[in-house]
């Protein structure tokens, strides 16, 4: 059998296990889920899992790796596409907020929970997702400001504040706040307006 097809079969099995794990993790959480649960959901034997993953934590890391591609692709618009601040805010705010609405939050909760407690997961998230996204956003604005002969001193921190807003609103959503939940779709515009114009009379 050619190596390429062989490789594809292995990938398919891995994905089958990751799909199953995502379902049961989302439903029960990471720790309460047993490897037997995963196997049952994937309709394979428990032992088979260990032909493809070293241990239970490796499965969570596998799920994380798969989330990476989609999150980074959605959250980070190509720098070239951004021509002014309003456009930047729209892409930078709209995509992550809407992506998270589409998913159910359950799996996200599990990953955040483990991340708070697992050094490696935290490091991977920062190095592979958060830092690159922040850097891309920064470069995008940097370039635009430079074309106007400017170099905003607090850009790095500003990017982090904006990114943090999204994180915070997600958490408030997860906590069950109904105001945030009900007005989720308006958030990109609302935040862009707040950022551009500050606390206007309708807000405070």
CB-wise, 45 or 73, nearer to DNA? 45
Residue 201's binding partner among a copy of itself, DNA, none (Cβ under 5 to 8 angstroms by kind) is a copy of itself
Report the distance separating Cα 77 and Cα 96, nearest Å.
11
Q: Residue 169: which of 122, 111, 105, 106 has the closest Cα?
A: 105
Least Cβ distance, residue 117 to DNA (angstroms): 14
Which sign does the torsion angle of CA 76, 68, 157, 186 carry?
A: positive
The residues of the shown chain that bind a copy of itself, judged by CB under 8 A, are 29-31, 85, 109-110, 112-114, 116-117, 122-123, 125-126, 130-131, 134, 141, 145, 150, 152-158, 160-161, 163-169, 171-172, 174-177, 179-180, 183, 190-191, 194-199, 201-204
Whether the Cβ atoms of residue 49 and residue 26 lie closer than 8 Å to each other: no
Question: Do you know the residue count of the chain?
Answer: 204
Map tokens 């996200």 to a residue. 108
Indicate whether 118 belongs to the interface with DNA (CB under 7 A).
Answer: no
Binder among 14, 23, 27, 48 for DNA (CB under 7 A): 48
* From DNA, a copy of itself, none, interface partner of 36 (C-beta below 5 to 8 A by class): DNA
DSSP string covering 44-74, please? S-HHHHHHH-SSHHHHHHHHHHHHHHHHHHH
Q: How far is the CB of 109 from DNA (least distance, A)?
A: 18
Q: Does 117 bind DNA (CB under 7 A)?
A: no
Rounded to whole angstroms, how far apart are CA atoms 82 and 128? 22
Q: Which residues bind DNA (CB under 7 A)?
A: 1, 6, 13, 31-36, 44-48, 50-51, 55-56
């Amino acid at each position: 059998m050619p190596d390429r097809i062989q490789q594809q079969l292995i990938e398919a099995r891995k994905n089958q296990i990751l799909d199953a794990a995502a379902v049961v993790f989302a439903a029960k959480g990471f720790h309460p889920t047993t490897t037997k649960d995963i196997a049952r959901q994937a309709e394979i034997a428990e032992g088979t899992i260990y032909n493809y993953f070293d241990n239970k934590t490796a499965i969570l890391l596998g799920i994380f790796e798969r989330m990476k591609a989609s999150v980074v692709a959605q959250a980070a618009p190509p720098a070239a596409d951004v021509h002014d601040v309003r456009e930047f805010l729209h892409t930078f705010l709209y995509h992550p907020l809407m992506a998270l609405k589409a998913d159910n939050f359950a799996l996200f909760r599990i990953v955040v929970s483990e991340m708070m407690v697992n050094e490696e997961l935290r490091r991977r998230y920062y190095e592979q997702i958060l830092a690159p996204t922040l850097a891309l956003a920064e470069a995008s604005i940097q370039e635009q400001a430079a074309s106007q002969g400017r170099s905003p001193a607090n850009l790095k921190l500003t990017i982090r504040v904006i990114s943090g807003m999204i994180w915070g609103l997600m958490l408030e959503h997860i906590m069950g706040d109904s105001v945030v939940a009900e007005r989720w779709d308006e958030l990109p515009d609302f935040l862009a307006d707040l950022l551009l114009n500050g606390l206007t009379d309708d807000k405070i």
